[in-house]
Amino acid sequence: MVFTEPKEAFPGSIYDITFGAERTVTFGGENSLAFHGFEGAAPHHPVIAFEVQDSLPDDWPPAVHDVYAGVSGDPAAWAQFCQNELKAQAIALRLLSTHPDRADRSAADAARTVADVLAAVSVPLIILGSNHVEKDAEVLVAAAEAAKGRKCIIGKAQEKNYRTITAAAMANDHLLIALSELDINLCKQLNILITQMGYARERIIIDPMCSALGYGLDYTWSVMERIRLAALAQNDAVMQQPMLADVGMYVWKTKEAQAPEAELPRWGSLKQRGIAWEVITAGSMLLAGAELLIMRHPEAVASIEQFIGELSVTEAG
Amino acid sequence: MALSGVQIFKLLPKTNCKKCGHPTCLAFAMKLAQRQASVDACPDMSDESRRMLGAAAEPPIKTVTFGAGPHVCTMGEETVLYRHEKKFVRPTVIAVRIADNQPDTDIHTALADVLDSEIDRIGQKLRIDAILLDYVSGNPARYQQVLETVIAHAPDVPKILSVQDADVAETALRSAGAKKPLLHGVTIGNFEAMAQVALKHSVPAGVIAQGLDAVAQLTGKVKELGVSELVIDSGARTAGAVLRDNTLARRAAIKKNFKALGYPVITFAGRDDAMLETLVAMTGIAKYSSIVVLSSAEQWRDLALFTYRQNIYTDPQVPMQVEQKIYTVGEPTPESPVIVTTNFSLTYFIVAGEIENCRVPAWLAVMDCEGMSVLTAWAAGKFTPAKIAQFIQESGLPEQLTKKELIIPGYLAILSGALEEKLPGWTITVGPREANALPAFLKNRTQQEMQSKP
């Protein structure tokens, strides 16, 4: 039988996003499904940002915390370490200590942290709140002002706080992460609400909510696939933004990434298990369509970079 | 490609005779389209129609099995490209490669690892499904010797014989043929001889060629010789090549009804770098491989890949459920807190994970709500004060407790009054709304208790 390759061309395409000031990176821009370079254009590789926190990450398990021993108490030093030693393409600063259940640090404190980190690194920065709806609205406004001129990505804007955060992104020329919880309709609705405020839809990054391997990864996978098909096949202009997978925070709190070998000898090496958990979660999100990843373990990042390189060469042989 | 109900209706006698048990031919056609009825139920259909409907009823990816007994591997039968359309039905077979030029000690270690690979996850027993025995020594006697060892130690594990020499295959199948191994080794250079061997021993065959076009040519030739159970290998070894070839083959089979590629795919993930191998295997599981062959059974990787396969192959339309019972997190005492939630597996995993992380031992009472999340179950009348009270009272938990305090999800604070009435003697405490606030909640609570004690 004569075989004709059933290649597909889609009417829609994904916006590309460039962020950063002194140094910039660009992701998105493709007009085909993830790594389908054999039938479409994929001008940019996905980007991986190393996660940095504004306070000692005492809930990170040793397997990943140890990598940052010596710098993890100082966000600027930590970010610098990621940029200089680990060759990070981008940094994601999570202002976790502003959460009322943690240190409840003020928006002004957060702004100072942002300024310190920006002074320490030249790679592009993602600025994340603590995922407390009310507090994030305060913190991210101050952070956005402190980062004016650096064209950062800020977030996450959610249905209950998008107005203030969107306004802050708009006023200070930043890009915006829109977070909805595993629901394609809520994702679309939030994008519409944000653009109705006059914010350009080409400047949004979709976060459909990540989950870890074994803990709902199948939901994120299918929501991402559906969002991407809506963007490409149905040419839905409201859904044509690149997608974020906030991988590390979900992976490193799972039992599989933490349980010692002595406790669960049948689960094998803890070190490789933790890295594998982050690697499979991240790799899977890439195949489902994510273009921006936030990760924690440098060895996992290195493997994912190799994987991206390999996926980007799709011709056989 | 599957026919629609209306297309099928046009092929039926249109007499509405009811002999098939359906009120009209159209109703019967609709059932056929949904694969809920058999073509044979209609006695009056023309032979031509019967042939056309029979061909259309064949799954676009052929069913192929290998192995025998309880652990037989069944592959194929997939009908979609994306799991949100319809469940992926035949979970990827995960196999481990053993080469006959490895030292005996390594072979024994590999066999032991495979036999000891079983892990229980959410009530499913998962294990390395098959062993691929690769003929690379060039010494037929050595291959046979290793095969006998593998058969002796792992008689029930389905086998894939990776052999391109028809004589070696024939000898091997005399010992192993009864348990229906997959004979992986049909190439353009040996297909006539190999097809004969496969036919003689009634085993499925793996077809190897470089690129999908060459594979399609070769499956056509082998099928003409009478071997119909085939598995295909296009030579894709990198993640990018696997994604490309698997996507194009699955699309051709499902969307174009291209039969020459409508077979299960075997993917060799083996790489020097263990994480890269893990990622290639992951790509195969996510993207349509029916068999993924690993270079070794590593416990950490087995756990990760089994879990991943479970994620991809769950039914996206049926909520994943966990069993209704009282789960223990840590080692709870009669004074530990009791937290109640529903049996939606995601809810369970997240709640259990958060409690586990804060290292406060607790009883987690998981109630059967047909796999719904807390708010959905409440809205559907399945997570009501009366039902929660009954569940707690019949759980056997009250007898084990000295302190009867029930922590309920924060979103259902309004239930606390009614629950107090239905559970006399219990204190009802409203917990946080989101699971991620549980650690802080439980830690505060424990600290307060410590302080209140004299």
> Choosing among A224, A307, A313, which should be mutated to test the B contact, i.e. which has the most B CBs within 10 A?
A307
Inter-chain contact B307–A219, Cβ cutoff 8 Å?
Answer: no
Q: What is the pLDDT of residues A69-119, one digit of tens each?
A: 999 999 999 999 999 999 999 999 999 999 998 999 999 999 999 999 999
Listed by number, the residues of chain A in 258-277 with a beta carbon closer than 8 Å to a beta carbon of chain B are 258, 266-270, 272-273, 275-277
Inter-chain contact A214–B83, Cβ cutoff 8 Å?
Answer: no
pLDDT at residue A292, as a whole number: 98
Minimum distance, in Å, between the CA of residue B260 and any CA atom of chain A = 7
Residue spans of beta strands (DSSP E) within B240-289: 266-268
Listed by number, the residues of chain A in 151-190 with a beta carbon closer than 8 Å to a beta carbon of chain B are none
Q: How many CB atoms lie within 10 A of CB A292?
A: 27
Please give the order of strands across the beta sheet that includes B205-208: B230-233, B205-208, B182-186, B159-162, B130-134, B93-99, B291-294, B266-268
Q: What is the pLDDT of residues A247-271, one digit of tens each?
A: 999 999 888 998 889 888 899 999 9
The pLDDT of residue B295 is above 80: yes
Which residues of A are less than 8 Å from B356 in CB distance?
A: 255
Inter-chain contact B316–A222, Cβ cutoff 8 Å?
Answer: yes
Inter-chain contact B244–A59, Cβ cutoff 8 Å?
Answer: no
Inter-chain contact A268–B258, Cβ cutoff 8 Å?
Answer: no
Listed by number, the residues of chain B in 328-387 with a beta carbon closer than 8 Å to a beta carbon of chain A are 346, 349-350, 353, 356-357
Listed by number, the residues of chain B in 274-313 with a beta carbon closer than 8 Å to a beta carbon of chain A are 274-276, 278-279, 282-283, 286-287, 298-305, 307-308, 310-312
Given a contact cutoff of 8 angstroms between Cβ atoms, the answer to whether B338 and A241 are in contact is no
What is the pLDDT of chain B when averaged over all its residues? 92
DSSP character string of chain A: ----------S--PPEEEE-SSS-EEEE--SSSTT-TTTS---S--EEEEEEESS--TTS-HHHHGGGTTTTT-HHHHHHHHHHTS--SEEEEE-GGGSTTTT---HHHHHHHHHHHHHH--S-EEEE--S-HHHHHHHHHHHHHHTTTS--EEEEE-TTTHHHHHHHHHHTT-EEEEE--S-HHHHHHHHHHHHHTT--GGGEEEE----BTTBBHHHHHHHHHHHHHHHHTS--GGG-S-EEEEHHHHHTTSSTTT--TTT-GGG--HHHHHHHHHHHHHHHHHHHTEEEEEE--HHHHHHHHHHHHHHT--S--
The mean-pLDDT minimum among A32-46, B145-159, B430-444 falls in B430-444
Q: What is the pLDDT of residues B93-148, one digit of tens each?
A: 999 999 999 999 999 999 999 999 998 876 678 999 999 999 999 999 999 999 99
Closest Cα in chain B to A228: B82
A101: contact with B, CB 8 A cutoff: yes
Provide the pLDDT confidence category of residue A316 given band limits of 50, 70 and 90: very low
B164 closest CA partner among B135, B142, B192, B137: B135
pLDDT at residue A255, as a whole number: 85
Which residues of B are less than 8 Å from A182 in CB distance?
A: none
Listed by number, the residues of chain A in 199-228 with a beta carbon closer than 8 Å to a beta carbon of chain B are 211, 213-219, 221-222, 225-226
What is the maximum span of chain A, computed from C-alpha positions, in angstroms? 69
What value does the mean pLDDT take over residues A170-197?
A: 96
The pLDDT of residue B454 is above 60: no
Inter-chain contact B298–A272, Cβ cutoff 8 Å?
Answer: yes
Inter-chain contact A275–B82, Cβ cutoff 8 Å?
Answer: no
Inter-chain contact B300–A3, Cβ cutoff 8 Å?
Answer: no
> Choosing among B126, B248, B259, which should be mutated to test the A contact, i.e. which has the most A CBs within 10 A?
B248
Q: What is the pLDDT of residues A50-59, one digit of tens each?
A: 999 999 999 8
pLDDT at residue B227, as a whole number: 96
Inter-chain contact A311–B301, Cβ cutoff 8 Å?
Answer: no
The pLDDT of residue A317 is above 70: no
* pTM of this structure: 0.88
Q: What is the pLDDT of residues B262-289, one digit of tens each?
A: 999 999 999 999 999 999 999 999 999 9
Over pLDDT 70: what percentage of chain B? 98
